[in-house]
A and B are shown apart, each in its own frame.
Chain A
Amino acid sequence: MSLPTELCYFVAAILFMLSLKWLASPKTARRSVPISILAMGLAVVPTFIQRIGEPGGAGIGNTLAIVLGGLVLGSAIGFVSATKVKMTAMPQMVGLYNGFGGAASLLVAAVEFLYKTGHNPQGEIGHMSVGDSIPVHLSILIGGICFTGSMAAFAKLQELISGRPVQFKGQHYLNLVLLLAGIGLAIALTLNPLASWHLAAFLGLVAIALVLGWLVVIPIGGADMPVVISLMNSYSGMAVTATGFVLRNNVLIILGSLVGASGLILTRIMCKAMNRSLANVMFGGFGAAPIGPAAATGGTKGTVKEASVEEAAMVLQSSGSLIVVPGYGMAVAQAQHAVRELAAQLEKNGTRVRYAIHPVAGRMPGHMNVLLAEANVPYDQLYDLDQINDDFANTDVVLVVGANDVVNPAAKNTPGSPIYGMPVFNCEQAKSVIVLKRSMNPGFAGIENELFVHPKTMMVFGDARQTLTGMTAALKEAA
Chain B
Amino acid sequence: MSPEGYWLLVFYVFMLAVAVGVELISKVPPLLHTPLMSGSNAISGITLVGAIGAAVFSGWDANGVLAFLAVTFGTINVVGGYGVTHRMLQMFKKQK
Contact = CB atoms under 8 A, between A and B. Distances in A.
Contact of A365 (B21, B37, B76, B88): B37
Interface string B30-57: 1111111111111111111111111111
Interface string A362-405: 00111101100110101111101000000000000000000000
B22 A261 contact: yes
Interface string A113-126: 01100011100000
Interface in B61-96: 61-64, 66-96
A17 interface: yes
B8 interface: no
A370 B88 contact: yes
Given A52-B56, A73-B72, A101-B74, A43 B46 contact: yes
B46 A114 contact: no
B57 A115 contact: yes
A382 B48 CA distance: 37
Nearest to B95: A378
A182 interface: no
Interface in A350-369: 357, 359, 364-367, 369
A26 interface: yes
B75 A62 contact: no
Contacts of B58: 58, 62-63, 66, 111, 115, 120-121
A27 B32 CA distance: 11
Contact of A366 (B33, B62, B76): B33
A75, A259, A359, A378: residue with the most chain B Cβ atoms closer than 10 Å? A259
A309 interface: no
B75 to A, nearest CB: 3
A257 interface: yes
B42 A36 contact: yes
Interface string A220-260: 00000000011001001101110111111111111111111
A19 B80 contact: no
A369 B42 contact: no
Contacts of A65: 60
Contacts of B47: 101, 104-105, 108, 239-240, 243, 252
A245 B82 CA distance: 25
Given A243-B50, A255-B43, A376-B93, A382 B31 contact: yes
Contact of B50 (A23, A59, A247, A370): A247
A47 B92 contact: no
Contacts of B40: 20, 233, 237, 258-259, 262-263
Interface stretch (A81-89, A190-198, A287-295, A464-472): A81-89
A181 interface: no
Contacts of A328: none
A168 interface: no
A378 B92 CA distance: 7
A67 B68 CA distance: 7
Contacts of B45: 40, 101, 104
A21 B71 contact: no
Nearest to B49: A47
B33 to A, nearest CB: 3
Contact of B30 (A82, A233, A366): A366
Contacts of B73: 74, 100-101, 103-104, 107
Given A30-B89, A78-B78, A370-B88, A66 B46 contact: no
B77 A258 contact: no
Given A82-B87, A253-B17, A257-B18, A74 B75 contact: yes
Contact of A67 (B24, B36, B55, B89): B55
Contact of A262 (B25, B34, B79, B94): B25
Contacts of B87: 82-83
Given A24-B28, A108-B70, A262-B40, A241 B14 contact: yes
A376 B21 CA distance: 31
Interface stretch (A90-98, A211-219, A316-324, A413-421): A90-98
A381 B17 CA distance: 34
Contacts of A127: none
Contacts of A63: 55-56, 58
Interface of B: 3, 6-7, 10, 13-14, 17-18, 20-22, 24-64, 66-96
11 contacts: A23-B35, A23-B39, A29-B35, A40-B43, A66-B67, A81-B76, A104-B71, A121-B58, A251-B49, A252-B47, A370-B34
Shortest 8 CB-CB distances between A and B: which pairs?
A: A74-B75, A82-B83, A70-B71, A78-B79, A261-B21, A366-B33, A366-B34, A78-B80
Interface of A: 16-17, 19-21, 23-27, 29-30, 32-33, 36-37, 40, 43-44, 47-48, 51-52, 54, 56-59, 62-63, 65-67, 69-71, 73-75, 77-79, 81-83, 85, 87, 90, 93-94, 96-98, 100-101, 103-105, 107-108, 110-112, 114-115, 119-121, 131, 229-230, 233, 236-237, 239-241, 243-263, 265-266, 269, 357, 359, 364-367, 369-370, 373-374, 376, 378-382, 384
